[in-house]
Structure 1
Amino acid sequence: KPIKQAPISSTTPKGDPSKSLVTAPIPPKEIDIITGDQPRPSPDRIPTVPHLNIPFSLDYFDKILLTDTRRYYEEEEFNIDERWEEEINVSRNNAIGTFLVCNGDEKVSGYARFQEIERQIFGQPGFKNKNFSAIFNTKETSCWFVRMNKGSSALRKPLYRIPFNGAMKFERGTVDGALGLAPQYIKETSHSEKKTTSDTYKIGTKATDIEVTLWEDPDENLSSDGLEQIFERMLSDYGENLAGSNMTHCSGVKDIRYTLEPKLHAVIIERLIKCSRECFLNFLYFLSLYDQVLSIAPVEDLSLAKSDVTPIAMSGEAYPAAISVPSLTGKGQVIQVSDSGLDFNHDFFADDDNNLTPEISLDGFITEKHRKVIQYISTQDRFEDMEGHGTHMAGCIAGSTLSSGKREKLGIAPNAKIAVYKIFEFKDGRSELVTNTKEMFEHYVSLGRKADAYIHNASWTSTLPKNHYTKWAAIVDSILFNNHMQLIIIAAGNHGKKIDGEQEKSLGMLGVSKNAITVGALEWGKSGYNCVAQFSSRGPTADGRIKPDIVGPGTNITSAFSQSANPELKNYLKTITSTNGDRNEWTFTGMGTSQATAILSGTAALVREYFMDGYCKLSKYGGLGSCTGQADQRNTYKPSGALIKATLLNGAQPVKNSRDQDGIKIRTKVYDSHQGFGAVNLSRSLPINTQSNWQFRFVDQQTITDGDNHKFYFIIQEGCDLKEFSITLTWMDEARIFSSTHDLFNDIDLSVKLDRFGSSKSEWLYPNGLGVKDNKNNVERIRTSDISAKDRLTPIIKGANLMSQSGSMKYSLVATGCFTG
């Protein structure tokens, strides 16, 4: 029934007499809150609470960014101090607070706007450089989070500030999670007499745990003990605030259970069903009033990105030249696979010496004595893969049998090695994420790099679509931005079927990453592949970026089967017997964006091998390097993750068809929400001497400063197999704190000036199928076949709108075609 939320009374938090909490302006009127006394909603109907979601969601934050900030800049009479008194979290004039500080000078770039911030704010009383974070950058406006003294000097135009209030801290889905309205899958698996498994789903609702993240404050102790002390103080404050209010029935909230994630400066609050929804929401609202709190978000479920599985014998079909070439086998490459573990005794991974004992560790112990698995990171002391998913993925990537004459069972990179990172464990019939995986993910990926695993396969996703930018996406982007040699390849998800709602914008929460390669799935069989699978998740992202980046074979993929996997599934494989003593040689055929991702990871390892084996030669004068297709160890080079990404996306080819939600074939084209940049095609990505006579030019990790232009020159020739010119620019962007209508921080532009032979008029080509410059994506590709011999192409790379504090970024570039230059 309609009730009015009681305001939280003003009180002084313990240990800090200078602060007192006040009521923020949310909710402004009476609201309907579903209380714990009311029955839970029917699973087939998810009620919505728009009047709650509007102020607590990203929409409200975007309004602040795009409306109020512009209004302040344009209207002299707008008094920001009045807004402060209404919305700020602390009331004392000299208290440190968090502001959204924006620069609305449309005539300059993000870096120039930052320099103005630096002039006016750095050195101000109370300013903390640790808590200075970029949040938004477009052609018109740049914004930062800044912690500074409320009583510091007023900002001069073009700067303006708005208090970072409690409403702006609630991320999408938080209210639904707090009220028990968050959608979830209810999955039912049945086994038929035809020895197949089928999964049926329906949508239900549930309450989610909530993650409260604090600022990384150099003056606060955010270790485990310090984080617990801060949160216990907040719980105590809440109890005091309840006294004398009409919310005394919520006193049980202070006894709520929680866990700590000190590396992420976060507290995970368990959402107890017995706790009234009204009380829980009121408690979260109370926490948002603390200036120390940065964000409040739902904890999302993660799952392996697998689809229905049909266990059958090995098909015997070889991988096509589009994803595999005989001269590249993955030799010298290591791929880290974060998944459900690996069956060490499977013939794809086992050692010649059966007496070799594998090693498990959490410190990244590396051993070179094993044929395949050189690192195994796990919180458990056993090697079993009860889900079977990780074993299957590792087999797709780098599986190779000990016995000779079984080439049909080889993975994409059969001579590569595997570093295992077990993040899922099998409990009560389902896979669950290992505790503290999000907190420790960056650390364990770094341990993989110590084993020379610079390619990371993540064939897992959120259980439901999350097309807006998430904290998981930020973790991935941060890893890739800070480690330029690393490349992470992520499954788009399997949410494309009708049960999942809209087919578009159905990406998993990792797949919205800016820097990783997000992979969709193609149907694959004896007739090849030219159709995006129905189940494959679609883009674009919430801010309009192209996703997935690329698509690859995702059906009829046969690989290793774990001996310790689900017994019910295992029973259907009894006809496939071992022919090598006790060694497991079982295989099964599955489908999903997981398999497509594993195949892309193997292909990425081949690209990395290509550069490291000396097929390419760097320019002595800092210009474009070239790849001849002939290996020469004197030219060995370790490519960046951005260069590998550019190579794969530059050679990706158009897919003609896609299956809609009902399974009906429809037409699709490159750069759309189905295929992104197209289907993986290694034979178009790299020149191989025996197969190609076209040119490949590249630059890697080239520094460009804000406002600078880099130009390259090509003259089109005749006599090559490749009739089109293709050029692709990539760079690793900084991670975001929040999702927004514009997630890209640093914009580098690619355009090509085309001067046709015999014509005095220049034409301009723009990327990603657009007729203008692209300011949303950090991958830009221009491709044209409308060229003739002696035409001149001038690609121009411009640091169009950089926001980094250094005023510069690094980019990688790949160009292919029939040309000189």
Structure 2
Amino acid sequence: LALIETAEAMPAAIDEYVPVRLSFARIQDLVAFDLEIADPKRVIHRVWPNFAVHGQMDVSCRTVKADAVRRSFNARGNGIVWAVIDSGIDATHPHFAAGNTLRAPEVADLHRDFTLSTTPDAVTAESALCDGDSRQGHGTAVASIIAGYLPADYAAGQLSVTATELGVDDRVISTPRQVAPSELCGMAPEALLVSLKVFSDDGDDSNTDRVMAALRYVMEVNARHETRPRIHGVNLSLGYRFDPEWFACGQSPLCRYVDRLVRSGVTVVVAAGNTGYASFTTQFAGRRSGGLPMSINDPGNAERAITVGATHRSAPHTYGVSYFSSKGPTGDGRRKPDLVAPGERVTAATAITAPVAQRDATYAEFSGTSFAAPHVSGVIAAFLSVRPEFVSQPEKVKQILMAAATPLGREPHFEGAGLVDAMRALQSV
């Protein structure tokens, strides 16, 4: 499985990367044949692996001050649309019902399932509004942190929140806990979401060509509406391990697509990855474990992306950067991540696979930078709903958020500019 990069810029209707499924020997034959062609007519510039990408509220909302900006600025995400490139979003979850988060006319025709085809037609893929991910619904959890909410009068008997605690002998024990329905809302509760599904329901990993197709789709949708983009931001809680020996850091096909989308006026928020902790063998002390620098995952290495590491959901100043959170610098020496946000035991919505007409509101706790990134996506959606002049200015938005972040006093290559701060960002402009 590979991506062939074409030698010259192709017409706008044709992509510069061609995904192929060939044996290594056949790819070698193809490259050899291309080399025999006269130089101006050669087609292949480089062959890249089509990497497999992996999936990477209530209390954390206060940590990033999203609740404060709702009270002070009425920053609820109104009028802002965010795309979630993930395992789909469970549209039957009550979390997305009250605000019509997925079915509003502004987004109802935009959902697509790239597990069916990387060139989706104009027909809305209803399967993108199902989340069969075996990990309780990765995409649904990510989406619920960005937007959606439960009404304050939601029936308590239909609400289920499960907390995860570390038990004896490292056993994971799940226990129910009480949470007020009004506290179960995204960072930008009234923003609208677009589900772009790249993980299949069988739980398998996706590949970069699907993610690139989803990014290309966002560009195409916005290009058809030049006066005002229909999709303002993208959340990528996925990625793959970067090895400096493969190619120049931040120049992979996926990173280049992310940078291109940002240049087109769309904010792209990416999880830094969960590869910041490793076991290794020392010469004199044997096997040890510790933090791992230069562990940012692609596409978090993209220069223009807002790359997000993880911290504790309610005590970031005490516990600092999460041990698993991927750490910088990048392979070519740039500072990453850009920000950190809550990514430890974050409450988020869970998916179910069986179709139902009515279901309980189920929530559980999740950990990983996958759940830190949507905090930043939601904060930006709330910010843009109050400061719409910064729509289509993603690099300015990134600058504002980094300047307004709260340092945790940790190593810059661990925390970037610090903890995202919604209140300070809005007050600064």
TM-score range, shorter chain: 0.7 to 0.9
- Kindly provide the amino acid, as one letter, of the partner of residue 438 in structure 1: M
Per-residue CA deviations over 1:358-395 (Å, capped at 9, x if unaligned) read: 87xxxxxx724x8xx67422245433201111110110
- Structure 2: which 5+ residue stretches go unaligned? 117-124, 154-179, 281-289
Query: Aligned in 2, Cα 1:300/1:399: closer, same or farther, shift over 3 Å?
Result: same
SS in 1 for 2:200: strand
Distance in 2, Cα, partners of 1:352 & 1:439: 28
Query: Aligned in 2, Cα 1:419/1:440: closer, same or farther, shift over 3 Å?
Result: closer
Distance in 2, Cα, partners of 1:214 & 1:349: 42
Check whether the contact 1:215–1:265 (CA below 8 A) recurs between aligned residues: no
The correspondence of residues 172-321 of structure 1 with structure 2, limited to 5 A, is 209-216=1-8, 263-271=15-23, 283=29, 286=32, 289=35, 291=39, 292=42, 293-305=44-56, 319-320=62-63
Residue aligning to 1:406: 181
Per-residue CA deviations over 1:676-717 (Å, capped at 9, x if unaligned) read: 111112233232xxxxxxxx46xxxxxxxxxxxxxxxxxxxx
Distance in 2, Cα, partners of 1:637 & 1:444: 18
Distance in 2, Cα, partners of 1:420 & 1:516: 20
Once the two structures are TM-superposed, the CA of residue 286 in structure 1 deviates from its matched residue by 2.5
Residue aligning to 2:158: none
Check whether the contact 2:84–2:194 (CA below 8 A) recurs between aligned residues: yes
Per-residue CA deviations over 1:92-133 (Å, capped at 9, x if unaligned) read: xxxxxxxxxxxxxxxxxxxxxxxxxxxxxxxxxxxxxxxxxx
Distance in 2, Cα, partners of 1:280 & 1:601: 42
Distance in 1, Cα, partners of 2:364 & 2:379: 21
Per-residue CA deviations over 1:232-252 (Å, capped at 9, x if unaligned) read: xxxxxxxxxxxxxxxxxxxxx
Check whether the contact 2:198–2:210 (CA below 8 A) recurs between aligned residues: no
Does the alignment pair 1:602 with 2:340? no
Percent identity between the two aligned chains:
25
Distance in 2, Cα, partners of 1:532 & 1:555: 10
Check whether the contact 2:88–2:139 (CA below 8 A) recurs between aligned residues: yes
Superposition TM-score, scaled by structure 2 size: 0.74
- Kindly provide the amino acid, as one letter, of the partner of residue 397 in structure 2: I
Does the alignment pair 1:341 with 2:88? yes
Once the two structures are TM-superposed, the CA of residue 600 in structure 1 deviates from its matched residue by 0.3
Once the two structures are TM-superposed, the CA of residue 545 in structure 1 deviates from its matched residue by 1.0
Query: Aligned in 2, Cα 1:301/1:601: closer, same or farther, shift over 3 Å?
Result: same
Distance in 2, Cα, partners of 1:222 & 1:681: 39
Per-residue CA deviations over 1:320-363 (Å, capped at 9, x if unaligned) read: 3534422322122211111111111101112599xxxx87xxxx
More relative contact order, 1 or 2 (CA 8 Å, 6+ apart): 2
Check whether the contact 1:494–1:537 (CA below 8 A) recurs between aligned residues: yes
Query: Aligned in 2, Cα 1:647/1:304: closer, same or farther, shift over 3 Å?
Result: same
Check whether the contact 2:312–2:342 (CA below 8 A) recurs between aligned residues: yes
Check whether the contact 1:301–1:463 (CA below 8 A) recurs between aligned residues: no
Residue aligning to 1:539: 328
- Kindly provide the amino acid, as one letter, of the partner of residue 289 in structure 1: L
Structure number with the higher helix fraction is: 2
Q: Please give the root-mean-square deviation of Cα atoms over the aligned residues, in Å.
A: 3.4
Distance in 2, Cα, partners of 1:394 & 1:401: 14
SS in 2 for 1:424: coil
Distance in 1, Cα, partners of 2:255 & 2:60: 35
SS in 1 for 2:94: coil
Residue aligning to 1:589: 365
Distance in 1, Cα, partners of 2:318 & 2:182: 21
Query: Aligned in 2, Cα 1:528/1:653: closer, same or farther, shift over 3 Å?
Result: closer
SS in 2 for 1:686: helix
Distance in 1, Cα, partners of 2:394 & 2:33: 40
Does the alignment pair 1:447 with 2:221? yes
Does the alignment pair 1:677 with 2:417? yes
Residue aligning to 1:521: 310
SS in 2 for 1:498: strand
Superposition TM-score, scaled by structure 1 size: 0.40
Once the two structures are TM-superposed, the CA of residue 266 in structure 1 deviates from its matched residue by 2.5
Distance in 1, Cα, partners of 2:216 & 2:188: 25
Once the two structures are TM-superposed, the CA of residue 651 in structure 1 deviates from its matched residue by 0.7
Distance in 2, Cα, partners of 1:437 & 1:606: 25
Does the alignment pair 1:377 with 2:112? yes
- Kindly provide the amino acid, as one letter, of the partner of residue 607 in structure 1: F
Distance in 2, Cα, partners of 1:518 & 1:316: 22
- Kindly provide the amino acid, as one letter, of the partner of residue 63 in structure 2: P
SS in 2 for 1:414: coil
Query: Aligned in 2, Cα 1:439/1:408: closer, same or farther, shift over 3 Å?
Result: closer
SS in 1 for 2:82: strand
Larger-gyration structure (1/2): 1
The correspondence of residues 731-750 of structure 1 with structure 2, limited to 5 A, is none
Per-residue CA deviations over 1:168-194 (Å, capped at 9, x if unaligned) read: xxxxxxxxxxxxxxxxxxxxxxxxxxx
Query: Aligned in 2, Cα 1:408/1:213: closer, same or farther, shift over 3 Å?
Result: same
Does the alignment pair 1:421 with 2:161? no
Distance in 2, Cα, partners of 1:587 & 1:446: 34
Does the alignment pair 1:460 with 2:238? yes
Once the two structures are TM-superposed, the CA of residue 655 in structure 1 deviates from its matched residue by 1.7
Which deviates the most, 444-453 or 602-611? 444-453
Once the two structures are TM-superposed, the CA of residue 284 in structure 1 deviates from its matched residue by 6.8
- Kindly provide the amino acid, as one letter, of the partner of residue 558 in structure 1: T
Q: 2:261 aligns with which of 474, 479, 487?
A: 479
